[in-house]
Amino acid sequence: MKIIQTQQSAIDNVTKYIVEDMAFGKNEVSVIRKDTKNIIVLPSQTNCKMGCKFCHLTGTTRPAEDLSPYWFARIIDLMRTEAKLNDKPLLISFMGAGEPLLNYGNILLV
């Protein structure tokens, strides 16, 4: 697993990372830095199959695969190291790609 692109927001303390690995390809992860905590925003799937009309993922051709507990653990460790997130409490938010309730079993294992 490696970071292939980073984008820092010009208006707030959010950094987006594009990560790539052999199992799930490219995925986006965000890090939000707050005064009292850091938040990692993770996808729960590689895409979404819900078909909501407001979502930018609707109609894309990439299949929605459940990300694994092993993937979650690896990405959290990678973000802690690369984004230097060891100084404050760390919260995990599954608000990225996919519907977390469709991958509930794997998320619980995190």
Q: Are strands 25-33 and 2-8 parallel, antiparallel or unpaired?
A: unpaired
Residue 20 has a pLDDT of 96
Q: What is the DSSP letter of 103?
A: G
Residue 97 has a pLDDT of 87
Residue 58 has a pLDDT of 64
Q: What is the DSSP letter of 43?
A: -
Residues of the chain where predicted confidence (pLDDT) is lower than 50: none
Q: With a threshold of 0.75, does the pTM exceed it?
A: yes
Q: Name the CA radius of gyration of the chain, rounded.
A: 14
